[in-house]
Amino acid sequence: QNFTEIGQRKVYVDHLNAARKLIFGKLVDKAMLGVYGFGVAISSMPVLLLGRIESAVFLPVFSRVHNSGEDLQPVFERVRRPWLILCGWVLAGLCGGGQAAVNLLWDDRYADAGWITQLLAIAGWFGILELTYGAAVLARGQAKWLAAGNAGKLAGMVLLIPLGYHLDGFRGAVLGIVLSEVVRYLLAAWALHRLGLRGWP
């Protein structure tokens, strides 16, 4: 059942990515969309890494603890802490040095990928938190909350990306992506709270 839920979650993510491209494709030209892709590729590495760890480590451990009837909270805190520290360190580096890294690796045509990387690294942090929450929620068999979170992010994208673009051009549109990720995180945090777990620390 958990593997089925993971597959469903991947479908939701694929749909979100398609929606993001569709919305951006209506707002910016292909050249800027390509630069945005560079920023996504750099900033998403920690999230992709933790996504693999979630399915290979977090979910099996949390499911085993839950099925055994033990208290999940101490295990939840202990398992996620080192990964949050590692990913937080990497994402903080991208926030602080994303522009310098892009300037070092690519020519001026891709300079905008620097600030895009920095903003998306912020979104990445909320994505990391949501992944750790999601593993606990899935272990409790509450995949409906993950679907609600993805639906909330999609709604946020549809609303916030065009609004951000109207207010501040492409930079505002990217901020819309960041804020839509925050929406999904908040819904996951609420789900975790309803399940009696604490993730704020």
pLDDT reported for residue 147: 85
pLDDT average, residue stretch 23-42: 78
How confident is the model over 160-195, as pLDDT tens digits?
988 999 999 889 989 999 999 999 999 999 999 988
Which residues are within 8 A (CB) of 123 and not within 5 positions of it... i.e. 6 or more apart?
Answer: 43, 177, 178, 181, 182
Please give the structure tokens belonging to residue 38.
């560079």
> What CA–CA distance (Å, rounded) separates 163 from 46?
28
The closest alpha carbon to 36, from 112, 108, 93, belongs to 112
Please report, for residues 9, 41, 42, 175, the alpha-carbon distance to residue 48 in angstroms, rounded to integers and kept in the order given. Answer: 14, 10, 11, 21
pLDDT at 4 over 60: no
Please report, for residues 14, 39, 119, 124, 140, the alpha-carbon distance to residue 110 in angstroms, rounded to integers and kept in the order given. Answer: 26, 9, 15, 21, 44
At residue 25 the predicted structure's pLDDT band, cuts being 50, 70 and 90, is low
Contact 106, 113 (CB under 8 A): yes
Contact 154, 19 (CB under 8 A): yes
In angstroms, the first-to-last Cα distance of the chain is 30
pLDDT reported for residue 7: 45
The whole-model pTM stands at 0.83
